[in-house]
Structure 1
Amino acid sequence: MTYATLENLTERYGADMLLGITDRATPPAGAIDTGVVARALANADATINGRLGTRFVVPLAGTPPEIREIAEAIAIWKLHVYKPDEKIEADYKEAMKTLEGMAAGSVVLHATTLAPVETGGTGARLTDRDRPLTAENLRGYI
C-alpha cells in the first residue's frame, strides 16, 4: 500500500506535467511512464517510513490526508530529473520539515490512523540462566 497513487498525483499536478517529467523514452512515447511513477512513490513511502519509524509503527495503517500530501510532494520532487520549479522545491522542503516535526512530536499525527503495536506477549519477560562467573569459579582470583 502506498501513501499516494498515480491518480492522486494526476489530480494534484495534472496529466500534462506528469507526462512531461516521466516520458523519458527516445523518441517520446506520449504516455505517462507508470513504472517511473511507481518508483518515485515507493521512494516517497520509504522516506516517510524512515522518518516516522523512530516514533510510529510504520507503515501507517491508513493514509491520513497530511501524509498523502507529503507523499505527493516528495514523489513529484523525485520525478524531476532536472531542477524543479520553485513551488515544487518549496513543497518538498515543507514536506520534509513536517515529517521531521512529526518524528520529533512537535507536529501531531492523529493516533487513530496508526497501527497498534502487537508485541505477542503480555509484558516483560525475565530469564534466569546459570551464571558463568561465581565466587566459587573465581576462587583465588578475587
Structure 2
Amino acid sequence: MTYASLSDLIAAFGTDDLIALTDRADPPADAIDEGTVADALAGAQSLIDGYLASRYATPLATVPDVVRRWACDIARHRLYLNRGGPTEPIQKAYDDTLRQMRDAADGRVRLAVAGVEAPASASGGGVKGVVPPRIFDARGLEGFR
C-alpha cells in the first residue's frame, strides 16, 4: 500500500491531467494508465520514506493527510518528468514538499504517527563543563602583593 492512491491523485489534480500524463498508448486510449501511476506513487513513497526513516518507523502505519499530499505532489512531479518536465507551479509544489519533508526529518515538524524515534539526548539534561586544574591560587600569589 502506498501513501496515496489513484483516487487521491484524481481528487487532487483531475482525470484529464492524469490521462495526459500517463496515456502512452498508440493510438491514445484516453484513459489513465494505472501501472504508470502505481510506479509514480511507489517512487513517491520511497522518497518520503528516505526522508523520514531517521525519525519515524517506515513505512508509516497510518498516513497523515500531509504525507498523502506529499505523495501526490511527488508522484505528479515524477509523471511530468516523463512528459518534458514540470511547469513552474508543479516544480514549486515539489520543492515545498521536499522542504517540508526535511523539516519533518529534522524534527521541526512533527507528524502525528506512531513509531516516532526520539533523537538521542544526554542524560541529566544539563550542561556540563570541564575546567582545567588551577595553576595559581591565592596562596601562590601572596608574594606578589
- The normalised TM-score by structure 2 is 0.76
Which residue is 2:138 aligned to?
Answer: none
Give the C-alpha shift of residue 46 in structure 1: 0.4
1:101 equivalent among 100, 103, 118 = 103
Which residue is 2:36 aligned to?
Answer: 36
Partner amino acid for 2:110? V
Larger Rg: 2
Gaps of 5+ in 1: 118-142
What are the within-5 Å matches in structure 2 for residues 14-33 of structure 1?
Answer: 14-33=14-33
Which residue is 1:4 aligned to?
Answer: 4
Give the C-alpha shift of residue 116 in structure 1: 7.3
Partner amino acid for 2:98? M
Which runs of at least 4 in structure 1 moved beyond 6 Å after TM superposition? Answer: none
Which residue is 1:72 aligned to?
Answer: 72
- How far, CA to CA, are the matches of 2:94 and 2:21 in structure 1? 16
- How far, CA to CA, are the matches of 2:116 and 2:48 in structure 1? 18
Write out per-residue CA displacement over residues 18-73 of structure 1, whole angstroms, 9 at most, x where no aligned residue: 00000012221111000000000000000001110011100111010110000100
What are the within-5 Å matches in structure 2 for residues 51-130 of structure 1?
Answer: 51-80=51-80, 81=82, 82-110=84-112, 113-115=113-115
Percent of aligned pairs with the same residue?
A: 41
SS at 1:90 equivalent: helix
SS at 1:30 equivalent: coil
- The normalised TM-score by structure 1 is 0.77
Which residue is 1:137 aligned to?
Answer: none
Give the C-alpha shift of residue 7 in structure 1: 0.2
Q: CA RMSD in A?
A: 1.3
Contact 2:56/2:116 (8 A) holds in 1: no
